[in-house]
Amino acid sequence: MNILSEIAEFKKKEVEERKGLYPVKLLEKSIHFNAPVVSLKKYLLRDDKSGIIAEIKRKSPSRGMINRYVSVERTSVGYMMAGASALSILTDEKYFAGSNADLSTARKFNFCPILRKDFIIDEYQVIEAKSIGADAILLIAAMLSPSETGRLAGLARSLGLEVLLEIHNMDELSSHVTGDDYLVGINNRDLKTFEVNIETSLRLGSELPQDVIKISESGINSPEAIIKLKSIGFAGFLIGEYFMLHSRPEKACDEFIRDLERLEKIHTVKNEKPDA
């Protein structure tokens, strides 16, 4: 059993427990449930933002504990002040040491798009995402059939949520990416070996429809990588581990974005310089 199969089995049990503790009728009474949604797509396309989706991730299956005591309030606000386009909040507790409360805390202190990063396999989790203040959800193609993906995405859109569809290979691209309604994330991490290679984004990105908003995920650790990805049409760059390995992730994000801005200015000047 690979890690995603293990997680899926656990999530089925977890979801059933949560349905008993927090029925849908209760979720629908949340102050967030009828609140306006902030568009992740629009923020990624804004000229005054970096395109970076800055993530709060305490732990991961591949690295173990990364930043156990991170302050969601300080870090999320710091990310946005640094110029990030959006936030990604891990809400899975067992594998990532996150919680729904983390996302709701980020929502309380930020007016920006917030992606709920979790292993979503059931309609209940989509409704739950809206109730805790998310603007977008992650659907992982490797965990879902095309019909399951379509059903969950349809429910999300009916609630006003945007959908980030994560793929890892050409098979998932061919079977799951059926139009430009999705934001498509290409995960550079091999889910079997946990190795990370940004070439995955470079290879699969060229195969996506032109109008799709493309997001590169995992393994982005330099402004140069973002410049390269932007040159082939990527609009979003999900970065978590690189920031979270620092004691103050928001400061690491700020320095990264400042370096990116300086590099982009240099590239702009070079491109505008007339040939001799």
Please indicate whether residue 217 is annotated as part of the active site.
Answer: yes
- Kindly state the tokens that stand for 272: 């505008």
Q: Which two tokens stand for residue 120?
A: 């979503």
Question: Looking at 76, 130, 218, 241, which residue is catalytic?
Answer: 218
Does 93 participate in catalysis according to the annotation?
A: no
Tell me whether residue 218 is one of the annotated catalytic residues: yes
Q: What are phi and psi of 248, to 5 degrees?
A: -120, 85
* Beta carbons of 168 and 147 less than 8 angstroms apart: no
- Token pair listed for 203: 């290879």
d(Cα 189, Cα 224) in Å, to the nearest integer?
19
Choosing from 128, 217, 241, 250, which is the catalytic residue?
217
As given in the structure block, the two tokens for residue 198 are 């940004």
DSSP for 133-181, please give it.
T-SEEEEEGGGS-HHHHHHHHHHHHHTT-EEEEEE-SHHHHHHH--SSS
Place of tokens 């994000």: 253
Q: Which member of 57, 59, 130, 214 is catalytic? A: 57
* 55 part of the active site: yes
From the candidates 76, 104, 187, 216, give the one annotated as an active-site residue. Answer: 187
Backbone angles phi, psi at 138, to 5 degrees: -100, 130
Residue 187 annotated in active site: yes
Residue 57 appears among annotated catalytic residues: yes
**Active-site option among 128, 166, 172, 250:** 166
3-state SS assignment for residue 71: coil
Q: Active site residue: 11, 14, 110, 117, which one?
A: 117
Distance CA 103, CA 133 (A): 7
DSSP per-residue codes, 191-253: TTT--B-THHHHHHHTTS-TTSEEEEES---SHHHHHHHHTTTEEEEEE-HHHHTSSSHHHHH
Q: Which residues are catalytic?
A: 55, 57, 117, 166, 187, 217-218
